[in-house]
């Protein structure tokens, strides 16, 4: 089969259309002619893949995976470690969720990923401030208080009524001052939160644009590459990304608790690790996290009493088949609970 026939088969159009597009210098025709051979197109049509490109992608992913995890380990900022500040974890999971969608005034190849991270940190701050300010609620609070005072004034007489009228007058004078105090408190707290995020910003010192493209590739499959990496830190990050992308109306503490619980469940049930199982459990936890309280207690106890190798989190060559940790499943605990109730 000729190159032309292969292209026609790939594009599903007529020879006439092919020559019209070629004459018009359509970019897609130029792209195919420049980067693909007849053999490449035929291989893709027959297998859905082009082997030489798959190899290049695999090498790119693996080399950048090493650099990526090393950057967290060397800066002592592995997200799966309890000492890392929650605010940084929150910032980073929001980054993973949104880094392709941020409204940035530059091209990543021009100014680089560090400019993207800095720009995102600014936008993250602004989002958090807006979320906390909620001016409408402040106004509602004062209006409701005024209504309560008016009701109280109308239902009292004498000295008490005069005192309430005086209180209402002072409240109206102090309203702006109180709002300013409230805003000052929010900005002060945000400054403290920012310092916690900045503490871990040295993670990104050795990042280049390849990390950006590495994360873009990984994100296309909902971080399946991280889930299947046999690396605990990448598993934690994949679970974090999924929780942040699937959760609605949860605060930071609730999201991080679900990430923590889901992560440790699969650390103790490594034979159950799969994208499907992880997503299914996250959705169940988001719907009713209390239903996992017994299994979380059981795993929490085993986590405290089990010995883990120091390098467990960063070991790329963990032999899952030789793990001696007892498997703990949700179904087992339900069965135990039923048996206990029958005995009683």
Pick the closest to residue 187 from 128, 252, 138, 118 (CA basis). 128
Over residues 283-291, the mean pLDDT reads 90
**pLDDT score at 5:** 80
Cα–Cα distance measured from residue 16 to residue 129, given in angstroms and rounded to the nearest whole number? 58
Is the Cβ–Cβ distance between 153 and 168 less than 8 Å?
A: yes
Over residues 221-232, the mean pLDDT reads 94
Residue 190: pLDDT above 80?
no
Burial status of residue 210 (CB atoms within 10 A of its CB: 0-12, 13-18, 19 or more): middle
Using 50, 70 and 90 to split pLDDT, how confident is the model at 186? Answer: low
Give tens-digit pLDDT for 255-270: 999 999 999 999 989 9
**pLDDT score at 318:** 34
Q: Would residue 78 be called left, alpha or beta, if left means φ above 0 and alpha means ψ between -120 and 50 degrees?
A: beta
**pLDDT score at 104:** 54
308 secondary structure, DSSP code:
-
Using 50, 70 and 90 to split pLDDT, how confident is the model at 334? Answer: very low
Termini Cα distance of the chain: 76
Cα radius of gyration (the chain): 28
81 secondary structure, DSSP code:
S
Cα–Cα distance measured from residue 270 to residue 283, given in angstroms and rounded to the nearest whole number? 19
Note if the pTM is more than 0.85: no
CA distances from 68 to 44, 197, 214, 284 (A): 31, 18, 9, 30
CA distances from 344 to 22, 23, 337, 339 (A): 80, 84, 11, 9
SS3 assignment, position 250: coil
Torsion of CA 262, 267, 273, 275, to 10 degrees: 40
Give tens-digit pLDDT for 47-94: 887 666 666 678 889 889 999 999 999 999 999 998 899 999 999 998
Structure-block tokens of residue 298 = 């059981």
In the block, residue with structure tokens 């959705």: 283
Q: b/e for 24-43, b at 16 or more Cβ within 10 A? A: eeeeebeebeeebeeebbbb
**pLDDT score at 146:** 74
Average pLDDT, the chain: 77
Give tens-digit pLDDT for 83-112: 899 999 999 998 899 887 755 555 666 677
**pLDDT score at 332:** 54
Cα–Cα distance measured from residue 240 to residue 258, given in angstroms and rounded to the nearest whole number? 9
Give tens-digit pLDDT for 191-220: 777 777 888 888 898 898 899 899 999 999
Cα–Cα distance measured from residue 235 to residue 266, given in angstroms and rounded to the nearest whole number? 9
> Which segments of 174-236 are extended strands (E)?
none
Cα–Cα distance measured from residue 104 to residue 124, given in angstroms and rounded to the nearest whole number? 13
Q: Highest mean pLDDT: which of 136-140, 184-188, 333-337?
A: 184-188
């Amino acid at each position: 089969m000729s190159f032309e026939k292969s292209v026609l088969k790939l594009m599903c159009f007529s020879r006439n259309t092919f020559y019209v597009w070629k004459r018009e210098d359509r970019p897609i025709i130029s792209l195919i002619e420049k980067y693909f051979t007849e053999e490449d197109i035929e291989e893709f049509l027959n297998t859905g893949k082009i082997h030489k490109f798959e190899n290049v992608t695999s090498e790119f992913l693996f080399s950048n995976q090493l650099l990526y995890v090393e950057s967290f380990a060397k800066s002592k900022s592995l997200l799966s470690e309890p000492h890392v500040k929650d605010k940084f974890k929150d910032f980073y999971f929001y980054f993973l969720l949104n880094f392709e969608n941020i409204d940035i005034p530059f091209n990543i190849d021009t100014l680089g990923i560090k400019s993207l991270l800095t720009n995102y940190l600014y936008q993250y701050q602004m989002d958090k401030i807006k979320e906390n300010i909620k001016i409408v609620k402040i106004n509602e609070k004062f209006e409701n208080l005024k209504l309560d005072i008016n009701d109280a004034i109308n239902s009292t007489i004498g000295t008490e009524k005069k005192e309430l009228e005086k209180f209402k007058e002072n409240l109206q004078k102090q309203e702006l001052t109180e709002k300013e105090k409230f805003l000052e408190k929010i900005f002060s707290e945000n400054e403290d939160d920012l310092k916690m995020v900045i503490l871990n910003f040295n993670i990104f010192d050795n990042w280049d644009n390849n990390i950006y493209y590495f994360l873009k590739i990984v994100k296309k499959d909902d971080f399946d590459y991280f889930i299947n990496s046999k690396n605990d830190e990448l598993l934690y990050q994949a679970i974090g990304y999924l929780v942040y992308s699937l959760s609605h109306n949860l605060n930071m503490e609730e999201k991080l608790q679900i990430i923590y619980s889901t992560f440790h469940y699969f650390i103790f049930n490594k034979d159950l690790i799969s994208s499907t199982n992880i997503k299914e459990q996250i959705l169940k936890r988001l719907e009713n996290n209390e239903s996992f309280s017994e299994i979380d207690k059981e795993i929490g106890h085993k986590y405290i009493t089990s010995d883990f190798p120091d390098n467990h989190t960063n070991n790329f060559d963990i032999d899952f088949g030789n793990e001696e940790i007892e498997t703990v499943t949700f179904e087992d605990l339900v069965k135990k609970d039923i048996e206990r109730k029958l005995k009683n």
